[in-house]
Amino acid sequence: MKAKRVSYLMFFSFLIVLPNLKAQEVNEVLKKVKAKLGQVKDYQADGMMKLNVSFLQVPDSKVIVYYKQPDKFRIRQQKGISLVPRGGISINLNSLLGDNRYTAVDAGKSSLNNQTVNVIKLLPLDEEGEVVLSTLYIDPISYLVKKIVTTTKENGSYTIEFLYGKYSNWALPDELVFSFNTKDYKLPKGMTFDYEEEIKKDTTKTKTTRGEVKIIFSNYIINKGVKDEVFEAK
Amino acid sequence: MDFALQALKDRFEINGQLLNGYFICYLVLQMLLIHVPLLIALVAGDVLSGEANMGTLRMLMTKPVSRTTIVLTKFVASVIYTILLLAWMAFLSLLVSMLIFGTDDLLIFKSDKAVLLREADVLWRFVAAFVYAAIAMTTVTSLALLLSVFADNAIGPIVGTMSIIILFTIITGMELPFFDFLKPVLFTRHMLGWKGFFNDPVNYASVIRSGGILIVHIIVFAGGAILIFRKKDILS
């Protein structure tokens, strides 16, 4: 009888302790990810930005990307008019993980590009914030974040995929694909007076409601100092 | 501009000098359809009917010059005025606004998309657009000349020309399937062909076709004016 009681007690203790162990494990992974990100105090990188949005026809543009701890981030075009998606700040991982104002939940393992990754969900503690949920796909060996899916209250969801190469030791990507929801773009024809070209319009293409921005990074300058002025809006 | 940008600003942070010389010039060209035809009709609508109104047309007919030559001379004079007017517009809207507002990339708005053209790729498009505009406005000149043949005072041809342009512009802009059969032959639709140079890549076949249709209109209107004037009883 006594042995039975002990075994019940042990079973329930296990049930209580197990989530804590899991949480510890998740926090340990995030700690390692943050440690890797923490190596970079600031950086400046050249980038080639490609926009793929159904209602925008924009040529590829050369940009400079600036970052400074804790969460300063800006994409600037060297010359001319630039269109950078809002929420671009989310591209910066430190802004997501930096303030510890979230609860991390283990969501098991998943496969991403034929590679097993840990899936961790971050639930923000701030109820008033725009972000509702962020899901991180983390490489369990290198502790690099491979993908983030962020769900927001009003602007749908963002997905950011990172491709690492030369700068993986610094947890800095060589390529980044940022996809987001787009709203319809429509102006009255009476205002724009469009010239309707006499070509058969391709009706097979359906308008996508997702937009995509790809940035290919090169020439990172890491921890050499970045002036605060570059983060100010022009 | 804010209205046009609203849909973009929700999603994108837009940096750079949007209101630059190129953008101002594009806006001015946009008004080409309504404002410049009025300035052209005021002159081209008056070339024959004005003379009839003043009673000098009969005197002109007594000279040993054929009626065809008279109409052609009037037409050429009106075309020169049209080209000079456009050159003046180009000077004011392009060169002066480039000096005042500077230059940058050009962001233009269509009904279903926004197009960004790099600064280095813009100037030649304006030159081509103004050359095209000269053909488009010559169509208006020839229409006003044709109407001028019928009238004995200038008001009629001026109002007539503008009424036709406004009516055709409304039909061109309306998205009613009922008018679809008519749209391809309306010269007001092809007057917008200058915008084709601001597509990337430019669909030259379409722009040349639209230019060709305008030239056919010019020939028909000016030819019609000559034919009718040759057979007209000059009573005033």
Of A169, A171, A164, which is closest to residue A216 (Cα–Cα)? A164
pLDDT of residue B227: 96
Higher pLDDT pick, B82 / A206 = B82
Which residues are CB-neighbours of B147 under 8 A, at least 6 positions away?
Answer: B45, B156, B157, B160, B161
Q: Which pLDDT does position B209 carry in this prediction?
A: 93
Nearest C-alpha of chain B: how many angstroms from A149? 18
Q: Which residue has the higher pLDDT, B222 or A57?
A: B222
| B104 inside 8 A of chain A by CB | yes
How high is the pLDDT of residue B141? 96
**The domain containing residue B214 runs over which residues?**
15-231
Q: Is there a domain that residue B107 lies in?
A: yes
Question: How close does chain B come to A28, measured CA to CA in Å?
Answer: 35
**Token pair recorded at residue A205:** 């293409």
Taking the domain A2-231, which CATH number applies?
2.50.20
Task: Say how far apart CA B13 and CA A81 lie, in whole Å.
Answer: 10
Radius of gyration of chain B (CA): 20
- Count the alpha carbons within 13 Å of B133 in the hemisphere toward its beta carbon: 29
pLDDT category of residue B33 using cuts at 50, 70 and 90: low
DSSP state of B149: H
Average of per-residue pLDDT values in chain A: 79
Q: What's the pLDDT band for B78 if we cut at 50, 70, 90?
A: very high
Task: Kindly indicate the confidence band of residue B223, based on its pLDDT and cuts at 50, 70 and 90.
Answer: very high
| Residue A1: count of CB within 10 angstroms of its CB | 5
Q: Give chain A positions within 8 Å (CB) of B200.
A: 57, 59
Which residues of chain A neighbour B109 with C-beta distances below 8 Å? 187, 192
| Nearest neighbour of B113 by CB, restricted to A59, A185, A193 | A185
- The pLDDT score that the predictor gives to residue B114 is 85
- Is the confidence at residue A199, as pLDDT, over 80? no
How far is the C-alpha of A71 from the C-alpha of A40, rounded, in Å? Answer: 12
Confidence of residue A206 (pLDDT cuts 50, 70, 90): low
Tell me, yes or no, whether B163 lies in a domain.
yes
Indicate the range of A5-19, A152-166, B98-112 predicted with least confidence: A5-19
Residue A166 pLDDT more than 80? yes
For B114-154, write each residue's pLDDT tens digit: 889 999 999 999 999 999 999 999 999 999 999 999 998 88
What is the average per-residue pLDDT within B89-96?
A: 90
The predicted model gives B205-222 an average pLDDT of: 95
Choice between A14 and B5, residue whose per-residue pLDDT is larger: B5
What pLDDT band is residue A15 in, cutting at 50, 70 and 90?
A: low
B45 in contact with chain A, both atoms CB, cutoff 8 A: no
Placement of tokens 């399937």 in the chain: B177
- Average pLDDT on A6-17 reads 58
Q: What is the pLDDT of residue A200?
A: 47
A82-91, A140-149, B90-99: which has the minimum mean pLDDT? Answer: A82-91
| Domain spans, chain A | 2-231
- Bridge partners (DSSP) listed for residue A110: A117
Residue B8 domain-assigned?
no
Q: Which residue type, as a one-letter code, is found at position A230?
A: V
Give domain status of residue B33, yes or no. Answer: yes
Shortest alpha-carbon distance between residue B49 and chain A (Å):
33
Asked, for residue B169, whether it belongs to a domain, the answer is yes
The torsion angles phi and psi of B96, rounded to 5 degrees, stand at -65, -45
Residue B230 has pLDDT above 90, yes or no: yes
CB-based contact B200 A57, cutoff 8 Å: yes
Mean pLDDT of B22-31: 88
Range B86-101 average pLDDT? 91
**A205 has a pLDDT exceeding 70:** no
In B, residues 205-234, which contact A (CB 8 Å cutoff)? Answer: 205-206, 209-210
Q: Testing the interface with B: which of A76, A198, A201 to mutate, by most B Cβ within 10 A?
A: A198
Rounded CA-CA distance B128/A53 in Å is: 28
> Does residue B143 contact residue B164 with C-beta atoms inside 8 Å?
yes
More confident residue, B136 or A11: B136
B8 touches chain A (CB under 8 A): yes
Banded pLDDT at A81 (limits 50, 70, 90): confident
| CB–CB contact A197 B118 (8 Å) | no
Q: What is the mean pLDDT of chain B?
A: 89
What's the average model confidence in pLDDT over A166-188?
A: 82
- Res B132: pLDDT: 95
Model pTM?
A: 0.79
- CA-based nearest distance B115→chain A, Å: 5
Residues 6+ apart with CB under 8 A from A136: A33, A119, A120, A121, A122, A145, A147, A148
For chain B, percent of residues with pLDDT exceeding 90: 56
pLDDT in tens, B192-212: 899 999 988 889 999 999 999
Across the interface, do B104 and A80 touch by the CB < 8 Å criterion?
yes
Number of domains comprising chain B: 1
pLDDT in tens, B165-189: 999 988 887 777 877 788 888 898 8
Which tokens hold the place of B30? 């946009």
- Asked if omega into A70 is within 30° of 0 (cis), the reply is yes
**B234 vs A209: CA distance, rounded Å:** 66
**How far is the C-alpha of B106 from the C-alpha of B117, rounded, in Å?**
5
Q: Is there a domain that residue B187 lies in? A: yes
**Span A44-65, average pLDDT:** 88
